[in-house]
Structure 1
Amino acid sequence: MSIRALNRELDAARDAGPVKDIVIPPCPQLLVQLQEELAQADPNPQRVAEIAGADVAMAAALIKVANSSLYARREPVQSVVQAINMLGVKPTASILTGFLLRNAIRIDPTLIEHFWESSTRRSLAMAHIAGQMYGLDLDVCKTCGLFFHVGIPVMLQGVRGYSGTLVEAMARQDRTFVQTENAAHRTDHAVVGAIVAKTWRLPAEVVYAVRLHHDFSSLTDSHVPLGVRQLVAIAAIADHLVARHEGVKEQREWEKHGALCLDFLQIGAEEVETWVDELYPVFEGVIVS
């Protein structure tokens, strides 16, 4: 599928298709400000601190993450400025984006707490995998990991009967997850998630990767940019690593497409086993505020 075709599909779905009746959370103004600062040639950490400090809960979440076992600091940070100095501007932006995303979706947090934990683990796993490869932007991978399945809580929030569809989609053996979604609602979380990513002005490669993350034929489609295909393959490996950590025994998608993803990225199965061990403490240190 070409990029032009993907854009046409997303625009049509948003304006005239089933998605038009789903409430897509608008991009928070704080994220707009953050994106504008990051677009500068030399982002100002002080300006990022001002944006982070504009929301007390967001500032507290940033400090909490900075003091988590993920970073194993000897002395705890006490302020937003200290957190940014310790983490760096771009990693800080990833954390703030995740916070804003979680708080933009109005749904009982107890229903999807595990969803956000898994999304955070996927984000960290994608950055870890990207770090072993040449020329990949770790922060783009992190952001992508957060948004890959964001269509699920958005549909839970806005589509009648979707909770039942989720149960059915996870249980069915005769068709894929997205096929079950489309049979019930004429759309799926990949399309909805891509529209969210586009609405939130995320990089184009993130938007397209979110749309295609269950379409593994894209890995062999030369019309799809290489960076998008890399994100799709990395996300599949990351999901496998998260599932291993969380004790998910049945991974139908990985069993069917895992080898293709590994071959595409020229990664061996032994490397994946190494990452299982390397990411264990990272996954255990995940906190969601």
Structure 2
Amino acid sequence: MKLGILGTGMIVKEVLPVLAEIEGLELVGILSTPRSLPLAKELAQTYQLPLATSDYEEFLADERLDTIYVALPNHLHYEYAKKALLAGKHVICEKPFTMTADELEDLVVLAKERQLLLLEAITNQYLPNFTYLKENLHQLGEIKVVTCNYSQYSSRYDAFKRGEIAPAFDPKQGGGALRDLNIYNIHLVVGLFGAPHSVQYLPNMDQGVDTSGLLVMDYQDFKVVCIGSKDSSAAITSTIQGNKGSLVVNGPTNSLPQVSLALNGQDIQVINQNAAHHRMADEFIAFNEMITTKDYQKAQTYLDHSRAVMQVLDQAASSMKG
């Protein structure tokens, strides 16, 4: 995989040292806004990327690139991913994939027409602890209740209250707790149980954006509540309860750092099968393998999962309006 990165934000600065260590992954270029071009050039020099520019047409025309990683504000994902696909590049897009399910479907059609891989960068689906959860759900018997709480007081919240609106709190840019934090909870639940029967989102709204909220997902035989909050903090934990025991994720749903299995009448087992490396390493190792080997079947499985998540987001946004 010969990778070009779009953006110079926090996630890019975090992932660059991770990508630099992945065998077989070649870092080729970085795209920025004209204002951020000095930073892009600095990052390119640090990580030995031969290309740094603010011209997207020039970027896409570079034949050294075969894959584009879209790490831009949420509302730009669709536009930049579409241009990349039209230019014949595979696409890896940060979560949430797009603003609407229809936008994602448009990208799916383009990727299929051009025989390109389209993937969402969502850490938890690729972590060994996620596999452990999925493989041990049956031990819980009949699932009854699932709760996920990812509440983290935002460093930008105080400025937001003063009227300084960062992208993370700008509804026009896809900001808000649903798409920023609760999205990880949704991916976890849909990854484990598939699409829900119905969805309702109950947000706390401030200046037109959901600064926190409860997402209720009805699976008929059991119920799920996902909490995402940027305006308050609490213990970050998720629990899957069945009539024979429970599984608990101790920590954020984006990294699943530790899992506890508690079966009725038995001692609690604490498990951590995640590797010692950064939480984003596993997904990019998988992306590199899928793109290098053109494993369309495996990529399709992950894409179908992302489509189901986008349907949940659409339903949540619709219930928020209505």
TM over 0.5: no
Taking structure 2 as the reference length, the TM-score comes to: 0.25
Larger strand proportion of the pair: 2
Larger Rg: 2
Taking structure 1 as the reference length, the TM-score comes to: 0.27
